[in-house]
């Protein structure tokens, strides 16, 4: 086991002791958020992603060890296991190496080589591979047999070549060589496929005659050609360094010696490469490229989702949510700061009805009646026409300024038609629920977005082309880390939000809601222990992430874990402050003057825990999202024709992809900031500079009004590299 820890530590550039501690904590059923937040002394301050990487590496290592034992057992059952082979299997560091070593012993279907063996040609194959100096034809003639369907020498030698080719193809060493050469020197070739005529919009035009070294293929191009191939629009092949592979196979056969069997062995080497090794390695290469591309696509989607979930809430604001539409009308929902729905309506300001005046009257009356602060407009169908109408309408509001903002409504329709939405709003139509969801997304993005399947939130690229299982696991991990980093108000949270809290299952989250409904608000974290099935272990994992605001214990509204309350009180006593004073300037002033190492030693706690404790006492109830720039609030609309090259604008990053970022600057079409225009320094990937929801300053770099394309730059004109 120690060997595994050392191997994982080396691969991840982490101290083996940290790996040991993390695996021990995970095997004791501690959650990743809990370990990252409350066991920093044990892990050396590793974050959630590092802990997840250790978990995944350990899972792989265990699978590898299990597979090694299975393979050793199966080969031993055949009586073919020797010490050298066992040593090779045990020293393999990858599953692929184990499978290569097992290949010669694996139960195969009835291959050409198997048929040749049935005809008794294996002794002749052994003789040829011994590099004989006597006549091959004379030896082969002795195997001619009408009964075995071997009427000629050519038939005999053809069967022998099949046996030799399969032996060569089963060589782990030769497979590894072919794999390494193909992965490093192979070229991906793409041409038009049988369904080329279906590509009416020329989406895949750049790939109709395309070549690129496999090692240089970037993820989004790999997924694009995979999709085109699946649709039959493209045909993809791999050009491998065949001559080098065949030469290596021949060398492995002849070892520089001469033999009368040279021609037969040479032809066997060519057959082994072209018929058996090359196709298998090409499949492996395509699979490896796809896995790498999918991993990157999932990473981008995950990081985009993280950015979206961490958007700052619009607290204490009454919001008018608008779900735009044409024929069926725009649905309106007025939502109070608490999330309560105050009113529902429908207007028809867009074609075909274009009932502008009645629509304006309705919006103005709702603003006046409920003192609406902000209007949230979904960015779907008819969004820009609705935006123009709203921008014009709010100019008539008297005595206050009403703003509007465009909200990403991806997934709102999925939620609105879900059983959860029907349970929450049984008397509302689907579109009306969407309007409510759009308003709530502005008020508290995290609380609303957790109700939607993450895969339905459109902030990814090629998310429909990747492994659904891998994508689901990655997105769930993102949601869990964000929810636990932000913390959850246990007295207002939905079941959907609570189920992502460390230690709480969907069932226990439902029990929390039921207990809250029965008793009224929870007054302390201790009362959570009365929730059915929320035992001591679940409480330990969850308590620090659950907040009780206005309860009997002020520390319950902090990220301090109950296990550390005693230390927190000792700390407050040391600075002569009452627990009720946390968050005050007095407490802040006193705590900021403390010497961390000395106090940690006095309290017998680790320095990381003490630092977190001080931060929590200075800012109880702190929401990390509050540090993020608020969404851009607007009072007027801009059109594409209003733009000029060099114009400076503020925009919201809507999506990040491998080649750049799409930014909403308030016109119908999002603009693209290419990777090369994100900074005046080298940028390896857009995620190193921007994230979804970020407010950025951009300059118009180019316009194609006819095609509706906007090129943007984040490098101030005159400051380019």
Condensed to tens digits (0 to 9), the pLDDT of residues 258-277 reads 999 999 999 999 999 999 99
3.40.1280.10, 1.10.150.310, 3.30.420.40, 2.60.40.3080: CATH of 485-626: 1.10.150.310
- Which tokens sit at 578? 């009452």
Architecture per CATH, 640-713: Beta Barrel (2.40)
- Count the Cβ atoms, other than its own, within 10 Å of residue 130: 9
Under 8 Å between Cβ of 457 and 482:
no
The CA angle 101-104-107, to the nearest 5 degrees, is 115
Three-class secondary structure assignment of 276-345? HHHHHHHHHHHHHHHHHHHHHHHHHHHHHHHHHHCCCCCCCCCEEEEECCCCCCEEEEEECCCCCEEEEE
pLDDT of residue 719: 66
Architecture per CATH, 319-466: 2-Layer Sandwich (3.30)
Percent of the chain at pLDDT exceeding 70:
99
Residue reference for tokens 């950015």: 307
Residues 403-451 have pLDDT tens digits of: 999 988 878 888 899 999 999 999 999 999 999 999 999 999 999 999 9
- Could you tell me where in the chain the CATH 1.10.3500.10 domains are found? 112-186+240-298
pLDDT of residue 656: 93
CA dihedral 542, 543, 546, 552 (to 10 degrees): 160
The CA angle 538-542-543, to the nearest 5 degrees, is 110
The span from the CA of 452 to the CA of 475, in Å, is 12
Residue reference for tokens 């935006």: 387
- Categorise residue 416: left if φ over 0, alpha if ψ from -120 to 50, beta otherwise: alpha
Residue 652 makes CB contacts below 8 A (sequence gap 6+) with: 406, 631, 632, 663, 664, 693, 694, 695, 696
Residue reference for tokens 């590299």: 721
Give every strand in the sheet of 209-213, ordered side by side: 209-213, 187-192, 234-239
Element (H, E) at 566: helix 565-574
Q: Is 721 a residue whose pLDDT tops 60? A: no
Under 8 Å between Cβ of 68 and 97:
no
Under 8 Å between Cβ of 312 and 626:
yes
Candidates 455, 459, 462; CA nearest to 222 is 462
CATH H-level superfamily of 2-105: RuvA domain 2-like (1.10.10.650)
Q: What SS3 state is found at 382?
A: coil
Confidence of residue 627 (pLDDT cuts 50, 70, 90): confident
CATH class of 112-186+240-298: mainly alpha
CA dihedral 228, 231, 232, 236 (to 10 degrees): 30
The CA–CA distances, whole Å, from 139 to 134, 156, 444 equal 8, 10, 84
Looking at the whole model, is its pTM more than 0.85?
A: yes
Residue 478 makes CB contacts below 8 A (sequence gap 6+) with: 302, 303, 305, 306, 309, 454
The span from the CA of 480 to the CA of 680, in Å, is 35
Q: What SS3 state is found at 426?
A: coil
User: Strand pairing of 671-674 and 709-713?
Assistant: parallel
Angle between helices 278-309 and 172-185 (to 10 degrees): 60
The CA–CA distances, whole Å, from 670 to 188, 379, 659 equal 32, 11, 15
Q: Is 511 a residue whose pLDDT tops 70? A: yes
Residues 293-344 have pLDDT tens digits of: 999 999 999 999 999 899 999 989 999 999 999 999 999 999 999 899 999 9
Residues 524-547 have pLDDT tens digits of: 999 999 999 999 999 999 999 999
Residues 588-615 have pLDDT tens digits of: 999 999 999 999 999 999 999 999 999 9
Percent of the chain at pLDDT exceeding 90:
83
- Could you tell me where in the chain the CATH 1.10.150.310 domains are found? 485-626
Confidence of residue 167 (pLDDT cuts 50, 70, 90): very high
The CA–CA distances, whole Å, from 507 to 108, 238, 513, 531, 548 equal 47, 50, 10, 11, 21
Q: Of how many residues is the chain composed?
A: 721
- Which tokens sit at 582? 């946390």
pLDDT of residue 490: 96
Element (H, E) at 590: helix 585-592
Q: Which residues pair with 344 in a beta bridge?
A: 333
The CA–CA distances, whole Å, from 199 to 202, 323, 685 equal 5, 33, 30
- Could you tell me where in the chain the CATH 3.30.420.140 domains are found? 319-466
Residue reference for tokens 């680790």: 606
Instruction: Please provide residue 442's backbone torsions phi and psi, each rounded to the nearest 5 degrees.
Output: -75, -40
pLDDT of residue 458: 67
Instruction: Please provide residue 550's backbone torsions phi and psi, each rounded to the nearest 5 degrees.
Output: 75, 20
């Amino acid at each position: 086991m120690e060997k595994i820890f050392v191997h994982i530590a080396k691969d991840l550039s982490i101290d083996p002791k940290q790996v040991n501690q993390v695996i021990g904590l995970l095997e004791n059923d501690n959650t990743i958020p809990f370990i990252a937040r409350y066991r920093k002394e044990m892990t050396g301050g590793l974050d959630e992603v590092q802990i997840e990487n250790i978990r995944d590496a350990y899972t792989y290592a265990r699978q590898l060890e299990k597979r090694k034992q299975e393979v050793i057992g199966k080969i031993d059952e055949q009586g073919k296991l020797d010490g050298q082979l066992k040593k090779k299997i045990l020293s393999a560091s990858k599953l692929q190496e184990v499978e290569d070593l097992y290949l010669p012993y694996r139960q195969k279907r009835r291959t050409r080589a198997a048929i040749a063996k049935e005809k008794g040609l294996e002794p002749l194959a052994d003789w040829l591979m011994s590099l004989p100096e006597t006549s091959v034809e004379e030896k082969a003639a002795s195997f001619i047999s009408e009964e075995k369907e071997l009427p000629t020498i050519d038939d005999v030698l053809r069967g022998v070549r099949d046996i030799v080719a399969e032996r060569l193809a089963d060589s782990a060493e030769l497979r590894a060589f072919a794999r390494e050469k193909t992965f490093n020197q192979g070229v991906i070739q793409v041409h038009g496929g049988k369904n080329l005529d279906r590509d009416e919009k020329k989406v895949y035009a750049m790939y109709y005659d395309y070549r690129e070294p496999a090692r240089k293929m970037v993820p989004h191009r790999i997924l694009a050609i995979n999709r085109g191939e699946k649709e039959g629009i493209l045909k993809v092949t791999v050009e491998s360094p065949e001559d080098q592979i065949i030469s290596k196979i021949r060398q492995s056969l002849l070892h520089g010696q001469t033999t009368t069997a040279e021609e037969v062995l040479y032809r066997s080497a060519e057959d082994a490469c072209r018929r058996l090794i090359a196709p298998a390695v090409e499949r492996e290469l395509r699979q490896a490229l796809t896995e790498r591309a999918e991993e990157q696509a999932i990473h981008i989607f995950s990081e985009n989702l993280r950015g979206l979930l961490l958007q700052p809430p619009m607290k204490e604001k009454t919001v008018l949510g608008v779900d735009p539409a044409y024929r069926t009308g725009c649905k309106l929902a007025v939502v109070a700061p608490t999330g309560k729905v105050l009113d529902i309506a429908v207007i028809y300001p867009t074609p075909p009805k274009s009932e502008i005046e009645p629509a304006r009257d309705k919006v103005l009356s709702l603003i006046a009646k409920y003192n609406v602060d902000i209007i949230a407009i979904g960015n779907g169908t008819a969004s820009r026409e609705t935006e123009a109408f709203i921008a014009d309408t709010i100019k008539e509001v008297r005595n206050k300024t009403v703003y509007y903002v465009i909200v990403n409504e991806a997934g709102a329709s999925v939620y609105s038609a879900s059983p959860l939405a029907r349970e929450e709003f049984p008397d509302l139509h689907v579109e009306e629920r969407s309007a409510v969801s759009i308003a709530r997304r502005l008020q508290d993005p995290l609380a609303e977005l957790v109700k939607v399947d993450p895969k339905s939130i459109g902030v990814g690229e090629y998310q429909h082309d990747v492994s659904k299982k891998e994508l689901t696991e990655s997105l769930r991990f993102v949601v869990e880390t964000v929810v636990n980093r932000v913390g959850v108000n246990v007295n207002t949270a939905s079941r959907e939000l609570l189920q992502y809290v460390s230690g709480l299952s969907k069932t226990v989250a439902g029990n929390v809601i039921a207990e809250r409904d029965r008793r009224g608000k929870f007054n302390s974290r201790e009362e959570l222990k009365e929730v059915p099935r929320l035992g001591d272990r679940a409480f330990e994992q969850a308590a620090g992430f659950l907040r009780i605001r206005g309860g009997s214990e002020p520390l319950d509204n902090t990220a301090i874990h109950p296990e550390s309350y005693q230390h927190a009180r000792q700390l407050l006593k040391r600075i002569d402050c009452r627990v009720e004073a946390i968050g005050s300037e007095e407490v802040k002033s006193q705590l900021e003057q403390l010497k961390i190492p000395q106090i940690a030693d006095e309290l017998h706690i680790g320095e990381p825990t003490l630092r977190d404790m001080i931060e929590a006492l200075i800012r109880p109830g702190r929401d990390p999202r509050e540090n993020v720039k608020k969404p851009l609030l607007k009072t007027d609309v801009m059109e594409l024709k209003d733009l000029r090259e060099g114009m400076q604008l503020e925009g919201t990053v809507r999506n990040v992809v491998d080649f750049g970022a799409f930014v909403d600057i308030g016109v119908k079409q999002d603009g693209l900031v290419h990777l090369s225009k994100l900074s005046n320094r080298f940028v390896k990937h857009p995620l190193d500079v921007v994230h979804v929801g970020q407010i950025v300053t951009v300059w118009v770099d180019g316009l194609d009004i006819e095609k509706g394309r906007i090129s943007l730059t984040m490098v101030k004109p005159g400051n380019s590299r």
